[in-house]
Structure 1
């Protein structure tokens, strides 16, 4: 039987814990009220949910069930779903093979075929094994080992696995030609992006396009981009109409920016991969009779796509845990969208974004999350039409905490404001979702503001004042 001193100690301990919880709740309420009254939020919608990451107890909630555009905090949902359904060690596969025959003199009477398996990292500079030169070196070596010295056919990039609709419904026109608006592909290459080098002039004058890196011979460029005044920043956008080869640059680009370049989306990455291999082989003296091609460039008469009868190489992607590390660290929209389609593919459904959304919703429904609380149309949060509640995001973060793959997910989250959390921002939207420890208590949280006015830096600073109460 405990003595009186033990009872007194326990009573004081629980009283202090309860007092601390009440104090945190009140501090969060006061900070949230201040933000709601702020002029930047006069016409805004705000929500905040904070949960105990061990017990699931609600520490604080303000408008927790309000459906809001989550921006890139949606990537926490996509990545945790991928961990749960694909496993942390999942890898994509890309094959290189040929059809036809190789004659005694080394002539391939047939096509080389690069068949994509959905790998978003192929040709990416983020991983040693996936860098462009590393991949091309592997392909050249296996071609030589096969005794191929001349090709009486084409090099075809087969990206058919992920269908013909590369852009998710709900994305806006202004985003599509830019690197962050790169579309999905069964055969990605260099993260489906390239750089456009610029030369500015006097304020108001037309910005000149110097070159692209790498060279994009299948595209032409027209600049309607104007030189902006010092301090006006990068407000340049690349526009690429579907089935068109002309890239338009519009907007303004400040004359004091040092980078003098923007990153744009590659409209046909499968063609680009085929072109880079063809160009490399030609430089090495391996003659190629046909021109590079892709699923998109082949005519109806040239379809169905030829299949390889002899496989030369199979390149495995980095593991899923490594892909998700960069997905969240650098908020790579392409990675999220590729993963969403992968969920549909691996579930045996049509490989489309909408089917990936259905698989994602079903996964969380089995864990008690209402599918209506995940009213989404993409996997990255780039669509302004996505709607998710902070309660749902916090519940998903809570669920992730209990999984064996959680350390890999946690490691993928950036450090922002000295807190481990994913940020999200699109026009009029700012959001954060992540984890924090306060006085030894593990917490998970989500905060979203939609339709704020004024500067993004201003709303961020004010949201941080709320989140600072969790430190």
Structure 2
């Protein structure tokens, strides 16, 4: 006979959303009740007004091992990526390569003069050779620059962000073109631009992940802070008045404007100002440099300039002004290019590497583009709305996941993205039966080893849990917003973790875990919650 446990009910409301707490309502089968050691973590004082949800199942049989509020809609943040990356990987295949071609219009004279335009046709290649390792993999760091401003620091990957454009330019030169008596155009019509979180409109062409990295080095009190930036281009430059203040002064780094609207115009400059306290130990890395980023708000304008500069390095002269808006009015009819006109192409790493990049570091723009690539492959959709609709159909047909089980607004988990634990588990179990499961599994961060789980190591303080290191492959998700109940203070609306555990017993389990609505004071509190979830994952490894 299965017993039920009734628990007291509480409620917590924030930003027009209300959730029953994990300890509220319904009945819980005692055979799937959460073990006491895990409950002790969930019942820490920091979580007294928070909502936990969890489901743990045997991957092969689907047997529910533990269950807590798994039917409730909860904030999952970037755990949403397990859906977008899985569907895209199934649709395109792990070995798919994106081909970015360059075409000439007009004829090439005997002296190497192209009397016409040169056109780069964007393919949606996320890295464009800018993160290419020698072994063909995409270079990653555990603190990716895409979150440098929100987290307060980053570690830059080492490959040259302009390497792909230099390769294309060298091929153009090798094709016999020495001068372009026309213009250089970026054909960015692969999909309709979509807005990324109020920052800019994403297009299917990238240089350095649509970021300019600013590197800040250490200096003595009263001195200017040494700085540099990459990529170097006439499209955008950086100036700084940042100085080092006393050891007791506050860290205050201002980027003006963080979202520059001048890209495509001459003399587009970003300014860094403020104060760095002497003796500062940088967050995350505990060492200099400090990294901040400006957003490339006009990707096609920026890429056009970068490509013209790469052509110049390859010995190809372009008569058109290098800094100008991308002249889309010069493009021919979409899809009208002839293979005889092709003069260069860039081939991406295998698609499994893109998925690995998106999941390991939780690359949000990459996840949104991944959804768009799925829509294109699935039914030719070129809009975000169309891709979301295509995904909804696929989740219903292939994974038996109802639209009532989730609310997705993009491919990355932005804003009030929700799902219930059962939907996440259904996706994880469904992917385990697909041909692309191995690269999907390998794309997940690994507990205590790499990606966004690299620094989750508190569990190792307990020798009985230390063996969990390397055995948890799971996607993370963090959603911080303003706490409307305490104006001016943040709240962790969702910290989620979901994936696979190769348990101590030898069996593989799928799990979903999230806590919603945790009052916090800043990033250190978020990291504490993150560590607690890592400890719970380690406990699951031990218990199963």
TM-score (norm 2): 0.71
- Distance in 1 separating the partners of 2:427 and 2:539: 22
**Which is worse superposed, 257-266 or 445-454?**
257-266
The C-alpha deviation readout for 1:312-360, integer Å capped at 9, x for no partner, is 1232211211221222222222321111111122233441222222222
The C-alpha deviation readout for 1:227-286, integer Å capped at 9, x for no partner, is 786798898677216577665668976652311332333223333333233223324443
SS of 2:190's partner is helix
Partner of 1:17: none
- Distance in 1 separating the partners of 2:506 and 2:402: 31
1:68-107 aligned within 5 A:
68-107=74-113
Task: Indicate how the Cα distance of structure 1 residues 254 and 333 shifts in structure 2: closer, same or farther if over 3 A, else same.
Answer: farther
Partner of 1:365: 396
Partner of 1:5: none
The C-alpha deviation readout for 1:156-180, integer Å capped at 9, x for no partner, is 1221212233x24xx2x5xx4xxxx
Asked if the contact 2:88–2:370 (Cα under 8 Å) also holds between the matched residues in 1, the reply is: yes
1:238-249 aligned within 5 A:
239-240=258-259, 247=270
- Distance in 1 separating the partners of 2:89 and 2:180: 42
- Distance in 2 separating the partners of 1:338 and 1:100: 33
Partner of 2:306: 276
SS of 1:66's partner is coil
Task: Indicate how the Cα distance of structure 1 residues 230 and 267 shifts in structure 2: closer, same or farther if over 3 A, else same.
Answer: farther
Asked if the contact 1:189–1:270 (Cα under 8 Å) also holds between the matched residues in 2, the reply is: no
Shift of 1:461: 3.0
For the aligned residues, what is the CA RMSD? 3.4
**Which of residues 468, 475, 485 is equivalent to 1:422?**
475
Whether 1:351 and 2:367 are equivalent positions in the alignment is no
**Which is worse superposed, 109-118 or 37-46?**
37-46
Whether 1:431 and 2:496 are equivalent positions in the alignment is yes
Question: Which one has the bigger helix percentage?
Answer: 1
Shift of 1:72: 1.9
Shift of 1:51: 0.9
Whether 1:463 and 2:533 are equivalent positions in the alignment is yes
- Distance in 2 separating the partners of 1:232 and 1:72: 31
- Distance in 1 separating the partners of 2:277 and 2:86: 39
Whether 1:184 and 2:254 are equivalent positions in the alignment is no
- Distance in 1 separating the partners of 2:443 and 2:41: 29
**Which is worse superposed, 440-449 or 250-259?**
250-259
- Distance in 1 separating the partners of 2:223 and 2:327: 36
SS of 2:53's partner is strand
Partner of 1:341: 372
- Distance in 1 separating the partners of 2:103 and 2:359: 34
Task: Indicate how the Cα distance of structure 1 residues 450 and 118 shifts in structure 2: closer, same or farther if over 3 A, else same.
Answer: same
Shift of 1:138: 3.4
**Which is worse superposed, 413-422 or 304-313?**
304-313
**Which of residues 153, 162, 165 is equivalent to 2:182?**
153
Asked if the contact 2:260–2:296 (Cα under 8 Å) also holds between the matched residues in 1, the reply is: no
SS of 1:346's partner is helix
Shift of 1:467: 2.4
Asked if the contact 1:154–1:292 (Cα under 8 Å) also holds between the matched residues in 2, the reply is: no
Partner of 1:393: 424
What residue ranges of structure 1 are gaps of 5+ in the alignment?
A: 1-21, 177-181
Shift of 1:183: 5.8
- Distance in 2 separating the partners of 1:160 and 1:201: 46
Shift of 1:426: 3.0
The C-alpha deviation readout for 1:153-208, integer Å capped at 9, x for no partner, is 1221221212233x24xx2x5xx4xxxxx8632222232222113367799x9986
Shift of 1:387: 0.9
Task: Indicate how the Cα distance of structure 1 residues 211 and 69 shifts in structure 2: closer, same or farther if over 3 A, else same.
Answer: same
Shift of 1:84: 1.9
Whether 1:218 and 2:235 are equivalent positions in the alignment is yes
SS of 2:370's partner is helix
Task: Indicate how the Cα distance of structure 1 residues 115 and 254 shifts in structure 2: closer, same or farther if over 3 A, else same.
Answer: farther
Q: What is the aligned residue count?
A: 434
Partner of 1:109: 115
The C-alpha deviation readout for 1:6-56, integer Å capped at 9, x for no partner, is xxxxxxxxxxxxxxxx99945x34245434433322332221111110111
SS of 1:144's partner is helix
The C-alpha deviation readout for 1:386-405, integer Å capped at 9, x for no partner, is 11222211121111112222
Whether 1:443 and 2:461 are equivalent positions in the alignment is no
- Distance in 2 separating the partners of 1:288 and 1:24: 72
Shift of 1:213: 1.2
Task: Indicate how the Cα distance of structure 1 residues 222 and 136 shifts in structure 2: closer, same or farther if over 3 A, else same.
Answer: closer
Task: Indicate how the Cα distance of structure 1 residues 86 and 206 shifts in structure 2: closer, same or farther if over 3 A, else same.
Answer: farther
- Distance in 1 separating the partners of 2:425 and 2:207: 34
Task: Indicate how the Cα distance of structure 1 residues 389 and 185 shifts in structure 2: closer, same or farther if over 3 A, else same.
Answer: same
SS of 1:160's partner is coil
Task: Indicate how the Cα distance of structure 1 residues 230 and 34 shifts in structure 2: closer, same or farther if over 3 A, else same.
Answer: farther
TM-score (norm 1): 0.81
- Distance in 1 separating the partners of 2:31 and 2:507: 12
**Which of residues 254, 266, 277 is equivalent to 2:296?**
266
